[in-house]
């Protein structure tokens, strides 16, 4: 799967770990920065990943900042992006099954590496459940129709 990934400085180290983990599993990772621990502003990277998913340069996105809050606020401004800020495995799984989340958002200062990698695996491997959830997702998109 092609996956776009982005972080700010607070998520940089976890981004590097996730990138290596995904590549080990044979995924194609589009790393949209940042590229060091130097302080940056997270909206720039949230926008890049959201646009990559919307433009179909990647099937899914992963965003990481300190808490995950700023990145999820940015990504969810884009119609068609369903960014899920998760801190544990259950909501990660439900984000795919019920919400068809196309972006996973993580807090690099909130969760540890081992849990983050497990969550990434669940996010990649869990299919959307469809059915009644399809209708609800369409209703989300209708909220921001021009």
Ligand X SMILES: O=C(CO)[C@H](O)[C@H](O)COP(=O)(O)O
Q: Compute the distance between CA of residue 39 and CA of residue 50 in angstroms, rounded to an integer.
A: 21
**Structure tokens belonging to residue 87:** 């801190």
Q: Which of 5, 8, 83, 122 binds ligand X (CB under 6 A)?
A: 8
Bridge partners of residue 62, in order along the sequence:
5, 104
> Would residue 98 show up in a list of annotated catalytic residues for this protein?
yes
> Would residue 65 show up in a list of annotated catalytic residues for this protein?
yes
Within 13 Å and on the Cβ side, how many CA atoms surround 24?
Answer: 9
Judged by CB under 6 A, does residue 45 bind ligand X?
no
Q: Compute the distance between CA of residue 8 and CA of residue 63 in angstroms, rounded to an integer.
A: 9
Judged by CB under 6 A, does residue 63 bind ligand X?
no
Judged by CB under 6 A, does residue 10 bind ligand X?
yes
**Contacts with ligand X in 25-44 (CB under 6 A)?**
39, 42
Name which of 69 and 140 has its Cβ closer to ligand X: 69
């Amino acid at each position: 799967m092609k996956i776009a990934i982005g972080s700010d400085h607070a998520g940089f180290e976890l981004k590097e770990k996730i990138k290596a983990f995904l590549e080990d599993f044979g995924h194609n990772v589009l790393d949209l920065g940042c590229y060091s621990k130097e302080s940056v502003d997270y909206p720039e990277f949230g926008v890049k990943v959201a646009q990559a998913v919307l433009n179909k340069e990647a099937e899914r996105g992963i965003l990481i900042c300190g808490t995950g809050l700023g990145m999820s606020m940015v990504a969810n401004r884009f119609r068609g992006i369903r960014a899920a800020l998760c801190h544990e495995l259950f909501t990660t799984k439900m984000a795919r099954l019920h919400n068809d989340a196309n972006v996973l958002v993580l807090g690099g200062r909130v969760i540890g590496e081992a849990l983050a990698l497990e969550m990434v695996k669940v996010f990649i491997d869990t299919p959307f459940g469809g059915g009644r959830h399809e209708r609800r997702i369409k209703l989300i998109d209708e909220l921001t129709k021009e």
